[in-house]
């Protein structure tokens, strides 16, 4: 029953993100801690393990193999970028 409501929310949501109701119940597949949505990258971020999980067509990809490690400065600032800082 809950899965049907969640699927309906996903299908009704037109943007690249996910509905807040869904984001509130999703957890990191590795740490089981809450995820936060990063608008800049359109992904879900686990601050607990420093990984970013993509959202493809409104569907969160939460398999560990889909995650991308965040660099230290990305974790500290709370922002995720797709390119490296050339000053490193």
The reply to whether 81 falls in a domain is: no
3-state secondary structure 37-79: EECCCCEEEECCCCEEEEEECCEECCCHHHCEECCHHHHHHCC
Structural domain boundaries enclosing 16: 2-74
CB-based burial of residue 68 (10 Å sphere; 0-12 exposed, 13-18 middle, 19+ buried)?
A: middle
Task: Tell me the pLDDT of the chain (88 aa) as tens digits.
Answer: 555 555 445 444 444 567 878 878 899 999 999 999 898 889 999 999 999 999 998 899 999 999 999 986 455 555 544 444 444 4
The reply to whether 66 falls in a domain is: yes
- Spatial separation of the C-alpha atoms in residues 34 and 82, rounded to whole Å: 22
The reply to whether 84 falls in a domain is: no
22: domain CATH number is 2.20.25.10
The reply to whether 88 falls in a domain is: no
Number of domains within the chain: 1
User: What is the model's pLDDT at position 22?
Assistant: 83
């Amino acid at each position: 029953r809950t899965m049907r409501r969640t699927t309906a929310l996903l299908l009704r949501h037109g943007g690249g993100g996910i509905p807040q109701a869904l984001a509130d119940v999703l957890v990191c597949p590795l740490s089981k801690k809450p995820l936060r949505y990063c608008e800049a990258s359109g992904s879900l971020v686990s601050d607990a393990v420093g990984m970013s999980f993509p959202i493809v067509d409104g569907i969160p990809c939460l398999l560990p193999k889909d995650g991308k490690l965040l660099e230290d400065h990305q974790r500290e600032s709370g922002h995720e970028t797709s390119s490296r800082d050339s000053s490193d």
